Structure 1
């Protein structure tokens, strides 16, 4: 069942090892003559993960994108609805460290089963939250789904490193991130289609029930597929790095200490957090921003969110391919970040043009670079932190994102009410510009590429 054997150089594996991590002391270069195989089933594992990730992320924006309908039906405040999105960020921060530790010690299968079960459980709790006095139960279900997210966001670089060869790691990671973006896209697109903001109370009850049942059914099927087909690792390693790493016993707490003392990683932590935090703020309040200029465009708000994310999905895959071909991590990261600033400026000044088709076009540009940046940041982090576990590296990266996401979402929500959308969006442009400058200050210390060259 394996592809033709290949001689693999050291890939950027989550388990790339050196003597300082403990266990085996043999260097990857000594194994460079060995033949390694990659198995076709890796694509099945990746496909299941993509669907599983999307089943969780599609619920992130599920309430916020139909904020007006939720306020009307449940009688809750707008800020309460926005907290259904921000709960994803709040729960992630304290839980990512135990989740990363569990991933490091038990592997992909155990953490994926836990995350899938939680995603499914939370979705079913929402099914029973349709009565108008049961919003608290829906929020509880949303919280369970949000907690389950900690077992998902830091997996793509780990899964790519464990299952894929050195020439496919960046592309596989970008496809893994693609799953999260696919779910966000569905979260923007489906709720406005299913829930009629102008409907009667009875119609809204029916619409909410249908939406919750569809999501619960989808997550249930995926939970069964994960139990049956999702594996921790292939029968034999796909690269010298994965081979060596399998015998290493990494010290989780020492890894965290080294990461927090890595100047380039700290700078990337800040710049990555600013970029994705801005995306979270725009996504959470997109319905309110669009309805400011286009009062009847409830479905368009969801579609514009869809356009942003789908463009980003395309950008993610293209950027992953570029990284695999060129290995120009610093240059690619900086170029994509700077383009995000340009995209945000164009979005800001076309929002009030009165032609919603123009807003769709500017959203494509914004999404392509802003959300296309996600896997680029992951992979650049893997380069400057080699040989630390990639699950830990990406976990802390995502924790920073949640902190910035909460702060920027609350700031954006306050500014929209205080000074309007123009100055609010220009502030976000300024924040992205600061992030670009910080990115420029990151050294091109490509440790993983240096290890491959020595191999």
Structure 2
């Protein structure tokens, strides 16, 4: 939740700190101020981590950690845990589908300014607000999806539904982007953020259920690694597609992979 809040601030603050000016020296000054603020905040967080964080909690945070502590050292090592997870077929399928979904989100977030400015020149501040809308809607989606999953335990059904709605949200965003109405983009962006970001906690919870008693940290780390790899690939590919064919083709490219992810999610084993 706090990470998403940081992303929201990242969408909102830079367009305010770095206005669209023609003077390169003034622009460089604004950018340097923003970087100094970022460096100061990161340094403060680093110092707080050194002072406040302990090496490990006094009480194991989960049943999985209790089991891992009672295992032989060679069995509880990180390498052994990763090896077992990569032989877990349902988890590998989740690893791919999670990477597809979150990778698409990273690509949309990274190229948001570029896509919107193509259709709405001079609207840099509103681009930041749209990015903020995506993240705030995603925070609400994460909260609601997490509560729903905790109450119902319907892991496969919920992940398939949210994945499908992420695809629908991406299609809606794709075909409203060039209509010339910013309010429509705000609405479709909110829907996209609600379902696409709402999928994040579902992926982590599903991974824990599929991989118990493996450490949640290992499965979560692999999911994040998958998301970063797909995010880099999608961002580069969509950027090239936008260069040659426009934003519509770039967003259709992502929509195809979200549809593929929806189909693969439906193939997961739901017997937990």
- Shorter-normalised TM range: over 0.9
**C-alpha contact 1:336 1:373 (8 A) present in aligned 2:** yes
2:78 corresponds to 1:255: no
For 1:283-294, what aligned pairs fall within 5 Å after superposition?
283-294=109-120
2:122 corresponds to 1:306: no
Q: Sort the Cα spacing of 1:423 and 1:205 in 2 relative to 1 into closer, same or farther, 3 A.
A: closer
Match of 1:197 in 2: 20
| Alpha-carbon shift at residue 352 of structure 1 (Å) | 1.3
- The separation in 2 between residues aligned to 1:439 and 1:384, in whole angstroms, is 13
**C-alpha contact 2:139 2:197 (8 A) present in aligned 1:** yes
Match of 2:2 in 1: 179
| Aligned partner of residue 285 in structure 1, secondary structure | helix
For 1:140-155, what aligned pairs fall within 5 Å after superposition?
none
| Aligned partner of residue 365 in structure 1, secondary structure | helix
**C-alpha contact 1:189 1:302 (8 A) present in aligned 2:** yes
| Alpha-carbon shift at residue 359 of structure 1 (Å) | 0.6
Give the TM-score normalised by structure 1: 0.56
| Alpha-carbon shift at residue 234 of structure 1 (Å) | 3.7
**C-alpha contact 2:100 2:227 (8 A) present in aligned 1:** yes
Query: 1:337 is matched with which residue: 154, 160, 163?
Result: 163
| Alpha-carbon shift at residue 397 of structure 1 (Å) | 1.8
Q: Sort the Cα spacing of 1:364 and 1:294 in 2 relative to 1 into closer, same or farther, 3 A.
A: same
**C-alpha contact 2:68 2:214 (8 A) present in aligned 1:** no
Larger radius of gyration: 1
| Alpha-carbon shift at residue 328 of structure 1 (Å) | 1.6
2:27 corresponds to 1:218: no
| Alpha-carbon shift at residue 238 of structure 1 (Å) | 5.5
| Aligned partner of residue 372 in structure 1, secondary structure | helix
**C-alpha contact 1:311 1:367 (8 A) present in aligned 2:** yes
Query: 2:198 is matched with which residue: 369, 372, 377?
Result: 372
- The separation in 2 between residues aligned to 1:415 and 1:238, in whole angstroms, is 45
**C-alpha contact 2:102 2:231 (8 A) present in aligned 1:** yes
For 1:14-413, what aligned pairs fall within 5 Å after superposition?
178-237=1-60, 241-248=64-71, 249=73, 250-413=76-239
Q: Sort the Cα spacing of 1:388 and 1:266 in 2 relative to 1 into closer, same or farther, 3 A.
A: same
| Alpha-carbon shift at residue 315 of structure 1 (Å) | 1.0
Q: Sort the Cα spacing of 1:404 and 1:244 in 2 relative to 1 into closer, same or farther, 3 A.
A: closer
**C-alpha contact 1:383 1:445 (8 A) present in aligned 2:** no
- The separation in 2 between residues aligned to 1:408 and 1:199, in whole angstroms, is 31
| Alpha-carbon shift at residue 319 of structure 1 (Å) | 1.5
- The separation in 1 between residues aligned to 2:157 and 2:107, in whole angstroms, is 26
| Alpha-carbon shift at residue 338 of structure 1 (Å) | 0.6
Q: How many pairs are equivalent?
A: 269
| Aligned partner of residue 261 in structure 2, secondary structure | helix
- The separation in 2 between residues aligned to 1:387 and 1:321, in whole angstroms, is 23
Greater length-normalized contact order (CA 8 Å, ≥ 6 residues apart):
2
Q: Sort the Cα spacing of 1:275 and 1:219 in 2 relative to 1 into closer, same or farther, 3 A.
A: same
Task: Give deviations 1:34-61, integer Å, cap 9, x for gaps.
Answer: xxxxxxxxxxxxxxxxxxxxxxxxxxxx
Task: Give deviations 1:273-323, integer Å, cap 9, x for gaps.
Answer: 111111111111111110111011111222211111111111112222222
Task: Give deviations 1:230-287, integer Å, cap 9, x for gaps.
Answer: 2344433456554454444313222222211111111111111111111111111111
Q: Sort the Cα spacing of 1:427 and 1:239 in 2 relative to 1 into closer, same or farther, 3 A.
A: closer
Query: 2:243 is matched with which residue: 417, 432, 437?
Result: 417
